[in-house]
Amino acid sequence: MTAPTWILHASGLNKQYGPGCPRCQQFTGPAHNNSQCPVCNTVYACVDAGFTLHQGEVLGIVGESGSGKSTLLQMVNLATAADSGHIWYREPRTPDADPVDLLQMDAYRSRHFRNDRLGIVYQRPELGLNMRFTVGGNVAEKLLLANWRHVGNIRTRIRELMEQTELPPERIDDDPHTFSGGMLQRVQIAKALSSSPSLLLLDEVTSGLDLSVQARVLDLIRRIQWEQQMTMLLVSHDLGVIKQLARRTIVMKNGHIVESGLTDQILEDPQHPYTQLLVSSAL
């Protein structure tokens, strides 16, 4: 029997902001085109979400603003606490070990897990970088957390990562403010890759960049994914980005997953009316 290759299996994830009331179900969800209950004002950011992510796979999450895709990503990033559900993680380096439920870990362990095993790239660089530190300092943070204590070795590793992400290594000690938007995205990617994570989370990485810079960042992500067989969870509202990077895609609306499947299948033959609208608007 072949060993299962998934590294992340999420099920029953829920996140709501507010107390909820008996009439919430009546007014919220994709059928009502609403994620906020008009009676109690509770916002249902994510409802009964689940997915499986296999090793080396890129899974796209697509949906309009406020559909819950970033909430789902932040729950996987352990930065937003889920109200209920499970996120099972199987360490790819020890596939025979039992999976662990990330949502059951205490704060100390989840911080270590986030640093060692996860990398994240945000749409806004100031969320992922400390703009008061140099570019090298930002990339060094994860290495220092992993107990790297030799400045010479740290700087050698930073230069390698900068070359890998097509950044000029001679600018290692420059201020991030002197970098362009596309370069800052690459600094974030270099930082995310520094700890050799098992899973890379990408939250609208190309939004706000002009088309030529978008193309370069996407090429870089695709190359890294291909060379390192990196597992990625990609959030975007742009179907073009999803089409280029993701093998499978889930579509979210009003906090619910309304459709999931192979990206080609979803783009060529969308089943849910919302997905059909999304595809027809994009193409």
- Which residues of this protein are in contact with another protein, per CB under 8 A? 107-108, 111, 115, 130, 133-134, 136-138, 140-142, 144-145, 149-152, 154, 173
Q: Which of 259, 221, 263, 261 is nearest to 240 (CA)?
A: 263
Q: Does residue 253 contact residue 63 with C-beta atoms inside 8 Å? A: yes
78 or 217, CB closer to another protein?
Answer: 78
Report in angstroms how near the CB of residue 105 gets to another protein at its nearest. Answer: 12
Report in angstroms how near the CB of residue 15 gets to another protein at its nearest. Answer: 21
154 or 224, CB closer to another protein?
Answer: 154
Q: What is the dihedral of CA 151, 156, 157, 160, to 10 degrees?
A: 160
Report in angstroms how near the CB of residue 134 gets to another protein at its nearest. Answer: 6
CA 69 to chain centre: 9
7 or 143, CB closer to another protein?
Answer: 143
Report in angstroms how near the CB of residue 148 gets to another protein at its nearest. Answer: 9
Beta strands in the chain (DSSP E): 6-17, 43-54, 58-63, 84-89, 100-101, 118-121, 199-203, 231-236, 248-253, 256-262
First to last CA, the chain: 43
55 or 115, CB closer to another protein?
Answer: 115
Report in angstroms how near the CB of residue 58 gets to another protein at its nearest. Answer: 28
Report in angstroms how near the CB of residue 45 gets to another protein at its nearest. Answer: 23
93 or 108, CB closer to another protein?
Answer: 108
Q: Does residue 36 contact residue 42 with C-beta atoms inside 8 Å? A: yes
39 or 146, CB closer to another protein?
Answer: 146
DSSP code, position 196: -
Q: 116 exposed, middle or buried (CB, 10 Å; 0-12, 13-18, 19+)? A: middle
